[in-house]
Structure 1
Amino acid sequence: MKNETSKRISVINAILLTAVSLLSIAAIAIPSARAASPMLPADQCDAEAGSEHDLQRNLSFRPVATEDLRIGIALSACREAFNQGSGPRQTFQLARVLHAAGQHAQAFQMLAKASEGGHAAAMVNYAVMLGEKGDHDTAFALFEKAAATGNIMAAYNLGVAYRDGVGTSANGSLAAQWFERASVARDNLGAFNLAVILDEGTQVREDDQKAARFYRLAADRGNVDAMVNLGLMLESGEGMQADPVAAAAMFTKAAEKGDAFAMTKITKPGIDPATTASVEPSEQANLVLAKSGRVK
């Protein structure tokens, strides 16, 4: 799986630093019904702008997806809460709403303040923005600090930093450790990237069986790239017994989610056994996609 690694990994890398950005935080929409009694601005800010990925959020309210933010109401409540001297959580939530409203410079300032106050989710998002500005050393330090609190996105980004040597020296073993920590916390990208490292065997010892296990974990969590790579392993029998039926099922699942490569795998005409029987063994091997030719 080495030659075309960049095709799948480059997409994941694009996701990884935006996955924690304020624009991509997905969560369950806030119920339309609000509390009947008036709330303080800090509470209303919590109710209107809490993020699913914020372990320090007010659990009295359900999280709000970025696309479900009622920007006018949330901005008013969070600005008032900030002006009244509320804590880092509301400052982070104000930054989140500002970013969703397109006010990125102000969001950056609010993230800096919330980070100084020790808010982990703010540190991660602030680190992402610092990385986009080229300050990878400070970003790495913030990821470390946030990861120490148990923040999943921080753990994932540390894995990427160690894998790619961004803000620190490349270290495959540490990258694998942080990806696994993110995976344990149910992060599908952490599971996928750990599988890739184990599958390639360039930064850590190759372990196809463990790679397949984490591809399956990521695939079960909806990761399309993991479905494709697991399908390829099932097809060739790498790290497991070959299972064409299970491989086809994986490709079908990925194709149903719009993956173009998977579509070619399920629409490709089958190979006639009578034809392959007369082919030299060395040529028969070419009928199965080699590891170096796989897409990630």
Structure 2
Amino acid sequence: MKKVSKKHISLINALLLGLVSALSLAAITVPSARAAAMLPAEQCDAEAGSEYDLQRNFSFRPVATEDIRIGVALSACREAYKQGAEPRQTFQLARVLYKAGQRSQAMAMLKAASEEGHAIAMVNYGVMLDENGNHEAAFTLFEKAAATGNILAAYNLGVAYRDGVGTKVDAPMAIQWFERASLAKDDIAAFNLAVMLDEGKLVREDNAKAAKLYRIAADRGNIDAMVNLALMLRTGEGVQRDLSAARELLTKAAIAGDEFAVASLQAQPADTTDVAMIDDTVTSAIAADGASAPVLQKTARLK
């Protein structure tokens, strides 16, 4: 075997080091160059796209409201708007403005995007109109947006028909729209549909179906559904009684910060097997400091 001189080894190492350095530099500069090469409209898409927007630019990952970088997003979306942006960027500008606390400007942008047929803008504009008392106009926008398949529009129609806001109370229609949103994996829609069946006020009570819907919503991470299903598991309402499963759900909800779950767990310690079950009629429980803390009734946990 031929020996390789130390000088040759050093040369090889130097070449390798240079290659690694070049690759590292490329990894740093390429994304920066790409970001610099983006048009304002594209950067707006990248910084403020909503996961609920079926018309968003799918080249970029959606950005949750809490993750919007106001400075960067506002600059990009404003520039895109000035350059004659698509309704999508107009809506995204509204998202950023709303997060920045500029409510009136956000509403103006939502109106502009809505008038150009942008579905999620219609939903958000409708919500703001509803908050201002213009319920009928909001309902009309929800209907238009729901016709495009928008999940949030379907959910809001369910609420409108359930509560009679902007239209008359219509339980079958409320169920229909909540079901559509639930099938599209909306956890709050599944929860509210479960509550309707659990309460039995607008529709015939069906605890078994309610429990199944609470399970669907709980599996999607809905805290209220975890609590309500736990209460049903404790009492055997609509499901087979299972204290262990009930406690597991309450623990998950408590870890997530739900005060009702915390109080409920404290009222029934894990090592107590013969204490009275807590059900939805309980209105107080023992808090961590020994004081009485209010507990919401199951049927009042409606979003």
Cα deviation 1:138-183 (Å, max 9, x = unaligned): 0000011111111111111111111110000011111111111111
Q: How does 1:97-112 map to 2 (within 5 A)?
A: 97-112=96-111
Equivalent in the alignment of 1:218: 217
SS in 2 for 1:241: coil
- Distance in 2 (CA, whole Å) between partners of 1:59 and 1:264 is 43
Alignment length (residue pairs): 252
SS in 2 for 1:216: helix
Equivalent in the alignment of 1:247: 246
- Distance in 1 (CA, whole Å) between partners of 2:107 and 2:186 is 26
Q: Does 1:89 align with 2:88?
A: yes
Q: Does 1:178 align with 2:173?
A: no
Q: TM-score, normalised by structure 2?
A: 0.78
Instruction: Tell me, yes or no, if the aligned pair for 2:231 and 2:279 is still in contact at 8 Å.
Output: no
Q: Does 1:260 align with 2:249?
A: no
The CA deviation at 1:122 is 0.4
- Distance in 2 (CA, whole Å) between partners of 1:206 and 1:147 is 27
The CA deviation at 1:36 is 4.9
- Distance in 2 (CA, whole Å) between partners of 1:290 and 1:73 is 49
The CA deviation at 1:271 is 5.2
Query: Residues 109 and 243 (structure 1 numbering): CA distance in 2 closer, same or farther, change over 3 Å?
Result: same
Q: Does 1:42 align with 2:53?
A: no
Equivalent in the alignment of 1:206: 205
Give the letter for the 1:128 counterpart.
Answer: V
SS in 2 for 1:238: coil
- Distance in 2 (CA, whole Å) between partners of 1:110 and 1:291 is 44
Equivalent in the alignment of 1:79: 78
SS in 2 for 1:258: coil
Give unmatched runs, 5+ long, in structure 2.
1-30, 283-296
Equivalent in the alignment of 1:229: 228
- Distance in 2 (CA, whole Å) between partners of 1:288 and 1:68 is 41
Query: Residues 70 and 254 (structure 1 numbering): CA distance in 2 closer, same or farther, change over 3 Å?
Result: closer
Range that drifts further, 89-98 or 192-201: 89-98
- Distance in 1 (CA, whole Å) between partners of 2:148 and 2:82 is 27
- Distance in 2 (CA, whole Å) between partners of 1:99 and 1:265 is 37
- Distance in 1 (CA, whole Å) between partners of 2:232 and 2:49 is 40
- Distance in 2 (CA, whole Å) between partners of 1:151 and 1:133 is 23
Range that drifts further, 189-198 or 239-248: 239-248
The CA deviation at 1:121 is 0.8
Instruction: Tell me, yes or no, if the aligned pair for 2:135 and 2:166 is still in contact at 8 Å.
Output: yes
Instruction: Tell me, yes or no, if the aligned pair for 2:139 and 2:166 is still in contact at 8 Å.
Output: yes
Query: Residues 259 and 37 (structure 1 numbering): CA distance in 2 closer, same or farther, change over 3 Å?
Result: closer
Report the RMSD for the aligned CA atoms in angstroms: 2.0
SS in 2 for 1:52: coil
Query: Residues 59 and 248 (structure 1 numbering): CA distance in 2 closer, same or farther, change over 3 Å?
Result: same
Range that drifts further, 260-269 or 45-54: 260-269
Identity %: 66
Equivalent in the alignment of 2:125: 126
The CA deviation at 1:203 is 0.6
- Distance in 2 (CA, whole Å) between partners of 1:74 and 1:258 is 31
- Distance in 2 (CA, whole Å) between partners of 1:115 and 1:261 is 39
Equivalent in the alignment of 1:194: 193
Equivalent in the alignment of 1:54: 53
Give the letter for the 1:179 counterpart.
Answer: F
- Distance in 2 (CA, whole Å) between partners of 1:169 and 1:272 is 47
- Distance in 2 (CA, whole Å) between partners of 1:272 and 1:291 is 19
Give unmatched runs, 5+ long, in structure 1.
1-32, 274-286
